[in-house]
Amino acid sequence: MSDARRDWLAGLLAEAAARFGVTLDGEPVRGSYDRTLAARTSGPAWLRVTAQPPEWAQGEIWDGIATATGAPFDAIPMPRHLRSAEWATRWDDVDQVVRADLMTFVDEPAVSTGLVLDHPVDLPDAWWAGLRVGLDTLRRVTATERRVLEPDAVRSSILARFDVEIDLGRVDWEVAHGDLHFGNLTAPNLTILDWEYWGWAPAGYDAAVLACSAILRPDVAARVRAEFADVLGTYSGAVAQLAAADKYLRLVGIGAYPEIADPVRRRAATVLRDQLG
């Protein structure tokens, strides 16, 4: 992203703060590929802005943060949504829709600074137990049409990537966070961040994504698989692991994290051999 675009986003962040009547008092944090910009505000609270052309400013990924509210989300360790605002603007002579979301501030660092964990971590048993409880609570959500993944897209992407035809009739679906990497989890106290993508996914998908996020730290990836063995060890869990592997290999395909390519492919080969062979 150009410096001019980043400066424009910074201006939108300041405008959002003014609309909400809060004061920016922290350094802005850029999201992946500079798609979002966020910062701490007075309160304290956390303010996040994004801007997209009108055709993209809709659907599941547009209002996920604001819709992850009420029961059973109230029982999950996560930021609480406070307010949202949208307004129209233009960038480089193209119409844009700005979305701003104000959330409670989380005073804990994320386990990772990116999508892939690249350093040792020592997470206590209580942290893992809290994660399991949080995701089990999320699985109780049923009254939503939001989707992280579409069934036909899962089938076609796994066929194209791994040359295996899955049986969608055997796949159980449940509501998932949808982007559960270690950059979206805090420690030592657990908070699950960034609820932009939540919705239906193959059972075990969150655990599968988290294991891929830890692929460079085999001890952590093994802990993820052990904690969620009951869901990852099923047919649905195998499909979820292949879908997560495809997600991370697509990152490699656009030039990100080339070092994960071989270990992710090896893990996928193990799933294919041991669970779908």
Q: In terms of Cα–Cα distance, which of 157, 177, 160 is closest to 61?
A: 177
Cα separations in angstroms, 102 against 33, 183, 186, 204, 242: 21, 20, 19, 30, 35
Looking at the structure, do residues 86 and 158 belong to the same domain, yes or no? no
Looking at the structure, do residues 95 and 206 belong to the same domain, yes or no? no
Looking at the structure, do residues 261 and 136 belong to the same domain, yes or no? yes
Looking at the structure, do residues 89 and 159 belong to the same domain, yes or no? no
Asked if the structure places residue 117 within a domain, the reply is no
Asked if the structure places residue 118 within a domain, the reply is no
Is residue 276 predicted with pLDDT exceeding 80?
A: yes
Task: For 59-122, give the secondary structure using H, E and C.
Answer: CHHHHHHHHCCCCCHHHCCCCCEEEEEEEEEEECCEEEEEEEEEEECCCCCECCCCCCCCCCCC
Count of CB atoms within 10 A of residue 242's CB?
A: 25
**Count: domains in the chain:** 2
Q: What is the CATH number of the domain that holds 155?
A: 3.90.1200
Residue range 86-106: mean pLDDT, rounded: 96
Of the chain, the percentage scoring pLDDT greater than 90 comes to: 93
The whole-chain average pLDDT of the chain stands at 96
- pLDDT tier at 1 (50, 70, 90 boundaries)? low
Contacts of 148 (CB under 8 A, 6+ apart): 60, 176, 178, 197, 198, 199, 200, 201, 205
- Residue 23 in tokens: 């004061």
Residue-wise pLDDT tens digits, 14-35: 999 999 999 999 899 988 778 8
Looking at the structure, do residues 11 and 72 belong to the same domain, yes or no? yes
Whether the bond between 109 and the residue before it is cis, its omega within 30 degrees of 0, is: no
Residue 218's domain comprises 125-274
- The pLDDT value given to residue 75: 96
Q: In terms of Cα–Cα distance, which of 162, 121, 146 is closest to 247?
A: 162
Three-state SS at 138: helix
Q: Helices in 100-217 by DSSP H: which ranges?
A: 125-138, 151-162, 205-213
Looking at the structure, do residues 41 and 155 belong to the same domain, yes or no? no
Asked if the structure places residue 111 within a domain, the reply is no
- The pLDDT value given to residue 32: 77
DSSP 38: E
- Are the C-beta atoms of 267 and 248 separated by less than 8 Å? no
- pLDDT tier at 61 (50, 70, 90 boundaries)? confident
Whether the bond between 44 and the residue before it is cis, its omega within 30 degrees of 0, is: yes
Asked if the structure places residue 113 within a domain, the reply is no
Residue-wise pLDDT tens digits, 186-217: 999 999 999 999 999 999 999 999 999 999 99
- Are the C-beta atoms of 205 and 153 separated by less than 8 Å? no
Asked if the structure places residue 163 within a domain, the reply is yes
Work out the burial of residue 258: count CB atoms within 10 Å of its CB; fewer than 13 is exposed, 13-18 middle, 19 or more buried.
Answer: exposed
Of the chain, the percentage scoring pLDDT greater than 70 comes to: 100
- Boundary residue ending a domain (104, 134, 158): 104
- The pLDDT value given to residue 243: 98
Length of the chain equals 277
